Structure 1
């Protein structure tokens, strides 16, 4: 059954305001709930945060007070949605446990997008990035066992493998080489636009999360690891945001944002296993349908164009959280040694890469390597004992 948001009407905007009782949602159970429910929550929080930040930027770049007021009305509802979604996360979870869930999102969401992406160049961008998030998950898993004496598998529920990816110390590149070529807004598949916006938003939220939570730890190795990976998330946001065509007008971007929210809320509503959370996805979808129509009206008025010119005629195949173990192992076998050069990818270290490595590491092992060494000292073993057929630890390979 097809679903075209442009043909659906939702809850009128003047009926969307919620009171405190309605916003007081019950958080999920971290021990008994579906880990992918938590992943969907983290994803939608990032999507809502991006919607709010984009709306603020648009408001700061227009002189029309009517535009500012309409954006403010919708944005306030988006802010309520963001609070409801993010407050579904359980307060009993530690920052580090939430961090591991964030990396599970980065791994399985990006892997799914890479599998579905129709454009080969964009697909390569997601394949490249996911191997780095995969390794971040592994480094945090080492830290988690050191600090809280638990295994990360208890959080990801073995849906996502916890093993080394492209070594984190090699993720530090000259900023010049983090900028990719954008899609062409006039030629790109509408699905490609949604993919780019989704992954950019998710990575941006991860970057923001690490920027704010990193210094809350007392353990020096934890503070340092968050600092290192937080810098890499800055690289990832640069990597993904550069995929979006900068020639898109503000109004094209606005309708793409609202359409993408409809797409994701619909996707997650279709697969959600928690009835209470599913009801929130359905409610927010019906709110976003009206936000989309409001954005479309603004595009017609201020851009003189029909939104059908830039939006998909119906929602694509739903975004799905599912294990990607074999897909990721295939990437580990074929793309482990890639780095970036300009807007492309190479297998050999080059002058800018080597200079950046020398400058950022200063001849010392970075926190991502030291956390593994400290883990080994504490437990007398590696975090994960390799079994037959598993990919070897890339940190032990010569580069």
Structure 2
């Protein structure tokens, strides 16, 4: 049965404030929790952080004191939501274990979005990016076995393969070639807008995480790998944020942010295996319904438009975390050698790409290559990979 958030009321704003006891949620068990429960937690943290930062940026541009006060009220409540969601992650997990989980999110969430996206141009943008996240997972998994002497299969649980993707060293492109053509807000399907916002938020969270945790390591190869992949996450955020139509008003964006939160909390309620976590998704959905209605009221009052002009008449099909192994294998077969040129994609290296490669690598192997060599030196000449379908034939491109 379809669910239209515009037709449902939630918990009134003046009843949403929680005390410390309510905010002090018990974290999930890292040894027994469903890996996709962790993925849902990481995703919703990224969504909440994006909503908070958007609200702050909006407030800095807004001269209307009443609007600023309403934004501040909702933002404080969403700060509490973010704290609850992110604090579900166990304190026993290392930064590197959380990193591998972040990359599992990037792989399976982006692959799912690519499969469901109705616009072929946007689909291509997601397919291009996911092959790079796929390779990041492989590089970090090799680092994990070297540094912590544990295998990434304990984290991803065989749901996501850990094999080489488009080699990380080829992800370094001239910044101008990371900017894509945006969708047209007047013709784009509502689901396309939600997809772009979701993946942008997830990649932004990863970029911020790597910027902060990278220098906390003592091992030189770990510090260097985080630095390299952190720069690529900057490219990915540029890639995905440029898909959003800059002609959307602040009011449209506000409504879309709140609607997307409703969409994802509602989606994750459908498949969550942990009853305690599912109860949090349900509670937050009921909070977000009122945030959405407040945003819609602001749009009507300040933009003179109805939210139905921006949103659909019901939520799309739920977002689902599920294995995407066959889909990713097909992309590896057909798109591993792609790079970007201007706003499009090409198979052949071009002058601007080659200049960037020469400048950033300086004639040496980057950390993403050395981490594989260092792993091989420690483990009888072998890299770490977790394949559930046998070796893949296109190996010469993947180091």
TM-score when scaled to structure 2?
Answer: 0.98
Coordinate RMSD, CA, aligned:
1.3
Structure 1 residues 141 and 301: CA distance shift in structure 2, 3 A: same
By how many angstroms is 1:385 displaced? 8.2
Deviation string, structure 1 residues 150-170 (Cα, Å, up to 9, x no partner): 110110000000000000000
Between the aligned partners of 2:18 and 2:264, the Cα distance in structure 1 is 22
By how many angstroms is 1:390 displaced? 2.4
Between the aligned partners of 2:388 and 2:45, the Cα distance in structure 1 is 37
Between the aligned partners of 1:384 and 1:361, the Cα distance in structure 2 is 25
Between the aligned partners of 1:393 and 1:85, the Cα distance in structure 2 is 40
Aligned to 1:114: 114
Matches within 5 A, 1:362-377: 362-377=362-377
Between the aligned partners of 1:9 and 1:79, the Cα distance in structure 2 is 21
Between the aligned partners of 2:89 and 2:388, the Cα distance in structure 1 is 34
Aligned to 1:219: 219
Aligned to 2:295: 295
Match of 1:384, SS state, is coil
Q: Is the CA contact 2:299–2:305 (under 8 Å) kept in the aligned structure 1?
A: yes
Between the aligned partners of 2:15 and 2:155, the Cα distance in structure 1 is 38
Q: Is the CA contact 2:100–2:141 (under 8 Å) kept in the aligned structure 1?
A: yes
Runs of 4+ in 1 over 6 A off after TM superposition: 385-388
Structure 1 residues 272 and 235: CA distance shift in structure 2, 3 A: same
By how many angstroms is 1:391 displaced? 1.6
Aligned to 2:80: 80
Segments of 5+ residues of structure 2 without an aligned counterpart are none
Between the aligned partners of 2:14 and 2:280, the Cα distance in structure 1 is 19
Match of 2:108, SS state, is helix
Aligned to 1:165: 165
Q: Is the CA contact 1:164–1:393 (under 8 Å) kept in the aligned structure 2?
A: no
Q: Is the CA contact 1:193–1:244 (under 8 Å) kept in the aligned structure 2?
A: yes
Aligned to 2:278: 278
Q: Is the CA contact 2:177–2:341 (under 8 Å) kept in the aligned structure 1?
A: yes
Match of 1:382, SS state, is coil
Match of 2:359, SS state, is helix
Structure 1 residues 379 and 389: CA distance shift in structure 2, 3 A: closer
Between the aligned partners of 1:248 and 1:163, the Cα distance in structure 2 is 39
Match of 1:340, SS state, is strand
Deviation string, structure 1 residues 228-256 (Cα, Å, up to 9, x no partner): 00000000000000000000000000000
Tell me, yes or no, if structure 1 residue 97 matches structure 2 residue 97: yes
Match of 1:345, SS state, is strand
By how many angstroms is 1:389 displaced? 4.8
Between the aligned partners of 1:107 and 1:367, the Cα distance in structure 2 is 21
Between the aligned partners of 1:288 and 1:212, the Cα distance in structure 2 is 29
Structure 1 residues 287 and 386: CA distance shift in structure 2, 3 A: closer
Matches within 5 A, 1:61-210: 61-210=61-210
Q: Is the CA contact 2:161–2:388 (under 8 Å) kept in the aligned structure 1?
A: no
Structure 1 residues 313 and 142: CA distance shift in structure 2, 3 A: same
Matches within 5 A, 1:262-277: 262-277=262-277
Tell me, yes or no, if structure 1 residue 49 matches structure 2 residue 63: no
Structure 1 residues 68 and 146: CA distance shift in structure 2, 3 A: same
Between the aligned partners of 2:335 and 2:200, the Cα distance in structure 1 is 21
TM-score when scaled to structure 1?
Answer: 0.98
Structure 1 residues 235 and 306: CA distance shift in structure 2, 3 A: same
By how many angstroms is 1:289 displaced? 0.2
Tell me, yes or no, if structure 1 residue 382 matches structure 2 residue 383: yes
Q: Is the CA contact 1:386–1:392 (under 8 Å) kept in the aligned structure 2?
A: no
Match of 1:203, SS state, is helix
Structure 1 residues 398 and 13: CA distance shift in structure 2, 3 A: closer
Aligned to 1:317: 317
Between the aligned partners of 1:9 and 1:201, the Cα distance in structure 2 is 26
Structure 1 residues 318 and 146: CA distance shift in structure 2, 3 A: same
Segments of 5+ residues of structure 1 without an aligned counterpart are none
Q: Is the CA contact 1:214–1:226 (under 8 Å) kept in the aligned structure 2?
A: yes
By how many angstroms is 1:398 displaced? 9.0
Between the aligned partners of 1:58 and 1:317, the Cα distance in structure 2 is 30
Q: Is the CA contact 2:113–2:126 (under 8 Å) kept in the aligned structure 1?
A: yes
